[in-house]
Structure 1
Amino acid sequence: MATYSSKLPENGPEDEDEMMIGGELGWVRHLASCDHLVASLSSDLARIPTPDTPCNMCKHPRGNWLCLCCKEVLCSRYVNKHMLRHYREKNHSVALDYSDLSVWCFACHAYLNAQPILQLRPVHETSYVLKFGRALPFNTGQHPKVKEDDEMMLGAESGSVRHLTSCDHLVASLSTDLARIPNPDTPCNRCQHPRGNWLCLCCKEVLCSRYVNKHMLQHYQETNHSVALGYSDLSVWCFACHAYLNAQAILQLRPVHETSYVLKFGETLPFNTGQHPEVKEDDEMMLGAESGWVRHLTSCDHLVASLSTDLARIPNPDTPCNRCQHPRGNWLCLCCKEVLCSRYVNKHMLRHYREKNHSVALGYSDLSVWCFACDAYLNAQPILQLRPVHETSYVLKFGRALPFNTGQHPKVKEDDEMMFGAESGWVRHLTSCDHLIASLSSDLARIPNPDTPCNRCQNPSENWLCLCCKEVLCSRFVNKHMLQHFRETNHSVALSYSDLSVWCFTCDAYLNAEVILQLRPVYETAYILKFGEAPPFHIGEHPKVEDQ
């Protein structure tokens, strides 16, 4: 694990993603101490704004950050970078993310572990109560040690995840009947936590993670059953090795990994077992830029100088970083075709840009394209120079062609309707819509399950529900059947089973289902069907959100 500089680096996808993604994959450091807390913490953090407070500058409605010095609420780099600007103007170093309650220090350029840092515990617990309406599931006097606390997510104390290709504990820790396992939505056997639990691969008991009540960890300590599979991302963890196991390379784990994939997504893995990408990476291809707040440019002045003339032949997506041999989720420089790791590892692609001024890179994790010089993502579909390499990388990653022909790439506005809103790429969330009367069924108390396949192409998951006729159809990421349905029937309003957002095709915008009374019931019904519990807020407590 490389040592991070204490200086905030220049903007880039790898720098500023730290503000939003949290400790994804465990490569982010979580410090247990910070020298900037004395100067950066308010003396009155017992009273803080609620997590649904909009950005004080641009009124972005959710997922904002709280400055722990002045208690100002500001948006992340995915919107207008107001918290980053606030740090640069005020030197207020420490902020809490209302999205996942992580704490970030700009001066340290690292996350802070709010559990072992005494000064941060109170505000972390206060924000948890405000966000979830209940106290943390463990008392402050019982905060686990960093190593124990991070076992399920971060691997060793350093925070770097290891993925072993062998494990001496499998013989004693694997059931002989893993062809039949509980469904991924099985609640914890002890506390009934509804989702994101772990499956013991020895006795097949389903128990919650360390983020809830640590029942899987307790189970291991009681029974010495070492190996568990996470139903959240289908990763496999060995407590005895204190490391993740690579289910792709370990023959004994492949069957249960593939069985769990089928149960979770309703389809077999779309590639050979010898070439499995991680499930989470595969999902990123379907979801695109989370929440749609990321800019996707449709032109870039740096392409002429930054694209190789031979992008028909590129390295495989599983090529390790050329410098540190990090095995996956790396970036491809589209100028020299060097494969280098992201900011989650050793920042080698960022360093490469600074050394060579090669501006444009493709992320093998989600096949997004980033321009360092523009400080923005590039939309590889309408940009003619990027289409070939985007399609080649898709074929290499998934073993099949893109689900639409290159000659039929949609225009930006049409292509982005399901995810990004208007052509600018910025999502609008309207609080009223004139098309609801004609577009809502009178019987939305009964709707299809979120795992219903597309009625036309049988795409298995994360489709859209027409709120007029209740037909379930796939998104523009597959075969655009919901878009076609709108054009054929003029049914304007649809709900996404991926993130439960609501889109109006006629308005060309998202609708805020929390504040629009006609949409609340179907939103809450869909939430219960998807997660097995009611939304964590009461109808009367829905925050007001201005039109964006």
Structure 2
Amino acid sequence: MNKKEYQRDPNNVDDSSESGDENQNNSECVHINKALDFTKVRKSVTKTGLLSDCEMCSKSPAEISVLSESDFDFHLWMCLKCGNQACGRFKNKHALKHYETPHSESHALCVNTTTWNVWCYECFDYVNASSKKKLLEVVEYLKNQEKTMYLDSNNVDDSSESGDENQNNSKCVHINKALDFTEVRKSVTKTGLLSDCEICSKSPAEISILSESDFDFHLWMCLKCGNQACGRFKNRHALKHYETPYSESHAVCVNTTTWNVWCYECCDYVNASSEKELLEVVQYLKKQEKTMDSQQAFLINQSEPDLKDVIRIVDEFETQLEDLRSQVNHLKACNNRLREGQSFEPLLKELHERERKKANFIIFGIDDRNSEDRPEDDKKTAQEIIKLSHQGSFVDTSTIRVHRLGKYFHGKNRPLRVICSSPDVASKVLHNTRSITIYKKYESISVRSDKTYAQLEEFRKVKQELDFRLDAGETNLKIIHRDGFPSIVTAKPNHLN
């Protein structure tokens, strides 16, 4: 059997474990709690790091590797109980031997430090790392350690601009010549803090270096002119900007994500607090970042209006449109009457009166009594009805006026006229009557608009016509108001299934 057949043979169970194939994950491993110790793993990694070679193999070179050319020869498996790192079954099986060694506690769980697959020797199956929160935390911690080690392992030429500011150069002599706060401020005012390198956008054919690194997305700003470009982990446009011949030094730059300051001349990080002007520039840029974040959040909130606000705006437009239609019809009626020889002055007076009454509404069914405190009670009732109709929106009801219509008769409730501060308030009440009558206290009331005498007369005539037609045998007739005018229409009958 050749090597590939050996690897793929499903019957060879003993040697197929730790092969890196995680198609069938055991998401219900019951050994995780007993076989995992994050504290010990962290201590071990802090002490030794993630190893690249099995230490047991180094101590016993006489052992014969199995399938020595396999990619999995180089994969180590870390015990998640103690942090031991050893080779897998495709080499000298030291990870398996570690598990088989008698322990007081379970060492059944291990993770491949290359593929990050988790294996349980007890279940003899892969384990889904996301099945347990603490298991996922350990795996993510180890992945982060791998990234950190990778960045730390690079030499100075490739590790510059990487974000590691442990060794700051606090005595950079190039700051004064390579820093111009005025030019930086002008540039930021014009472009803001960029999120992408503009040169990369113009030349997409360039190949990114270490394209999966977090630092791909970091830009570096020249503190001489405010130029913003990508760092050495991408297309090195910040470095190329420095290398371009200038009459003045452009050696100092700042990472606009980590705010680390780098000097190309010193080839080292610079302590931002070492120079007052340098610190002022960095603090200014940080403040600009916060301002941009706040503005962006504001724009996002503005671009996603609340549904209630949208409905309210639509209702307001519909009300205004209805009022305009009503006014047009009034003008048409006035024009017709003028043609019939009527005076123009009464018509203007009527229009003015109708406009004034738009701020009013009349409530029917409110208890009426002849007492001194009745006016105050009526006002409180009207205020409550207005607030209920506005459904939680703020409305000022302190300026409303109320009075009863007609003379008082014992046992009879007179209509209550409410005069609001604006037509919008009255319109809201008239449109949201249902939101008022759902309350038991007001279930028997009704709300109507305040009409002029001419409007009431028009309605009376239409009502007489309706009664006449009903007496003549017509059915399914009703009165509706179209554009502010009453008219008779045929109602659709209700068909029972």
Task: Judge same fold: TM > 0.5, yes or no.
Answer: no
Higher RCO, Cα 8 Å, sep 6+: 1
Looking at CA atoms only, which structure, 1 or 2, has the larger radius of gyration?
Answer: 2
Comparing both structures, which one devotes a greater share of its residues to helix?
2
